[in-house]
Amino acid sequence: TMTTPIDLDELKSRFGVENFQRLLSLFCNEAKAEIAGMTKAHAEQDMSELLRLAHGLKGICSSVNAKGLRLICIEVESAARSDDWNKIGELIEKMSNEFKGLDLHCGDQGPGLG
């Protein structure tokens, strides 16, 4: 069975339906921007920027309980500290794929996310 990248029911019960939708929308926008930033930082081999973005995304993931994406962020931080650019590239790709699964949730919520 495919696991849901975010536990939506847990979020709804924790934040309430209206806040949950706003939070999810915010998460989707932020995560998309952070992953794009990491892709750029990887291409430019900008280690400090990469670590900053991975750490930021890890925090955002914690707030919405996106466990899979959060674990990849931890792996990115670890690979960055080891200067392992190949591993970082693989992880960013893995992260993009994980986010595509999340992005479906981002679109699922329909109108009224503003």
Q: Within a domain: residue 7?
A: no
- Give the per-residue pLDDT at 63: 86
pTM for the predicted model, two decimal places: 0.82
Q: Within a domain: residue 11?
A: no
**Which domain range does residue 21 map to?**
17-108
H/E/C letters for each residue in the chain?
A: CCCCCCCHHHHHHHHCHHHHHHHHHHHHHHHHHHHHHHHHHHHCCCHHHHHHHHHHHHHHHHHHCCHHHHHHHHHHHHHHHCCCHHHHHHHHHHHHHHHHHHHHHHHHCCCCCC
Q: Number of structural domains, the chain?
A: 1
- Give the per-residue pLDDT at 3: 57
Q: Within a domain: residue 85?
A: yes
If you count them, how many residues does the chain have?
114
Q: Within a domain: residue 78?
A: yes
Low-confidence ranges of the chain (pLDDT < 50): 1-2, 109-114
Q: Within a domain: residue 113?
A: no
CATH of the domain at 55: 1.20.120.160
Structure tokens at 54: 């991975």
Q: Within a domain: residue 9?
A: no
